[in-house]
Amino acid sequence: MIKPYFTAMRRPALALGIAVVLSASLGACVAPEQRRQANLYEDGSTCAEFGARPGTTAYTECMLTQQTRRDNKQRNSLEQTALTSQIAKDSQEMTRKVQCDRDAKKDREAGRYPRRCN
């Protein structure tokens, strides 16, 4: 009997994956100027909630703090992506090395000249 690929356990993961891809693609549709305006509005709202009024030193400091927070979040995201990418590359290389070592061991056991693993 052939089991269906999309079992009950895989359906939620598939739905989540589709949702992530769609949200990422829709997020990319926003123009940089629209994103900047949205960020300014959001920052202004946040600073107003903190009690800072536009034109005051506290408001300016709050806006700078919000921009710094956003910049740090973006930088951390980029660093995390780079780290994840490096981990994946290292994992692939380790898997290749382990498989090569296994194949070399099988060659030795069969009396053949073993391959070299670098």
Q: Report d(CA 47, CA 63) in Å as an integer.
A: 7
User: What is the pLDDT, as a whole number, of residue 2?
Assistant: 55
Q: What is the pLDDT of residues 8-50, one digit of tens each?
A: 555 565 566 676 666 666 556 678 889 888 888 898 889 999 8
pTM beyond 0.75: no
Cα–Cα distance list, 63 to 38, 73, 74, 75, 90 (Å): 13, 15, 17, 18, 41
**Cα-based torsion angle of the residue sequence 90, 94, 95, 97 in order, rounded to the nearest 10 degrees:** 140
User: What is the pLDDT, as a whole number, of residue 100?
Assistant: 92
Q: Report d(CA 87, CA 85) in Å as an integer.
A: 5
Q: What is the pLDDT of residues 70-117, one digit of tens each?
A: 999 999 999 999 999 999 999 999 999 999 999 999 998 999 888 788
